[in-house]
């Protein structure tokens, strides 16, 4: 099987997940992007792939815009 790589990137308030060179969906928080990745990564694991998930630090705990 192959390798499934998921990269969370963005700035406070706008987060995306890059997978297979695409980053189609936008998430309001880094936490929401992470939850989306975990669902996809779970399927990839079940299919026998190696899985890598990366997420950067952010200024706020969830990656939401600071108020």
Whether residue 44 is contained in a domain is answered as yes
Render pLDDT for 14-61 as a digit per residue (tens, 0 to 9): 999 999 999 989 999 999 999 999 999 999 999 999 999 999 987 776
Look at residue 27 and give its three-state secondary structure: strand
Residue 62 lies in a domain: no
- Does residue 60 belong to any structural domain of this protein? no
The pLDDT score that the predictor gives to residue 44 is: 96
Do residues 2 and 50 lie in contact, with contact meaning Cβ atoms separated by under 8 Å?
Answer: yes
Flag whether 63 is in a domain.
no
Backbone angles phi, psi at 41, to 5 degrees: -65, -35
Q: Which helix (H) or strand (E) holds 33?
A: helix 30-46
Domain that holds residue 9: 3-54
The reported pLDDT for the residue numbered 62 is 66
Q: What is the DSSP string of 51-63?
A: EEEE----SSSSS
Q: What angle do CA 38, 40, 66 make, to 5 degrees?
A: 50
Position 67 confidence tier, pLDDT thresholds 50, 70, 90? low
pTM of the model: 0.82
């Amino acid at each position: 099987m192959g390798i499934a790589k998921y990269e969370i990137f963005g700035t406070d308030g706008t987060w995306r997940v890059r997978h297979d060179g695409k980053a189609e969906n936008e998430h309001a928080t880094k936490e929401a992007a992470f939850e989306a990745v975990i669902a996809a990564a779970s399927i990839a694991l079940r299919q026998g792939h190696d899985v890598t998930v990366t997420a950067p630090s952010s200024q706020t705990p969830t990656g939401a815009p600071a108020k």
